[in-house]
Amino acid sequence: MILLRNQNKKQIIIEAASKVLAEKGYEKASIKDIAREAGITPGLVHYYFRNKEEILSELLLEASNQYTRDMQTLKQTVPVGRLSHVAIRETRDRVVKHPEWYKLRYELFAIGLRNSSMTEGVNRILENGRNGIAGILSSIFPEPEDLDVMAAILLACFDGLALQKLLHPELDLDKAYAVLEKWALSLQDAR
């Protein structure tokens, strides 16, 4: 159980939701479960969030913001010649290390397609992903052309490969990412 001492209650709810959603899955998790894990009443959860969808959106937005910060750190610490390799490897590792994050991400995507009130949150998460990728690309390509489009295509590749790995565990993710890296490097060489 998470204690409320000297911490932001909203953040505590998000941390509790992360744990509960990862353990139970989106469909089986309830506001009561999240409240219990946070050590608060369900009413307090509803004070900060209207519903479970809003909690999921906030949780994934926070994870997306962290991804963008991680990409910024890579950009600042990894030599440009190795940056595409390291960034692609980090993204691949995320699929292996955090499959529950991707499952929740796809839950939110489906909710966003069905519920227009969630569309803005989903779009913010996708925009963060594109911005993180675009930040890396801007270092690799000194005079970026179609940077936003390239970032959108790479994000679609990353999400698509993660989804395929979740649904088909036998997919050779290493090989898929190696091919994707070759493609990215060929773009770099072509410029």
The string of DSSP letters for 113-169 reads HH-GGGHHHHHHHHHHHHHHHHHHHHHH-SS-SSHHHHHHHHHHHHHHHHHHHHH-T
- Residue 16 sits in a domain of what CATH number? 1.10.10.60
Quickly state the pLDDT bin for 189 (edges 50, 70, 90): low
What's the average model confidence in pLDDT over 93-107?
A: 91
pTM, entire model: 0.83
CB-based contact 60:70 (threshold 8 Å): no
Shared domain for 6 and 63, answered yes or no, is: no
Provide the domain limits for residue 184.
52-190
The arithmetic mean of pLDDT across residues 127-154, rounded, is: 87
Model confidence pLDDT, tens digit, residues 1-41:
444 444 588 999 999 999 999 889 888 999 999 999 999 99
Same-domain check for residues 100 and 112: yes
Same domain, yes or no: 8 and 77 = no
> Which is nearest to 23 in space by CA: 106, 104, 107, 105?
104
Regarding whether 25 and 60 lie in a shared domain, the answer is no
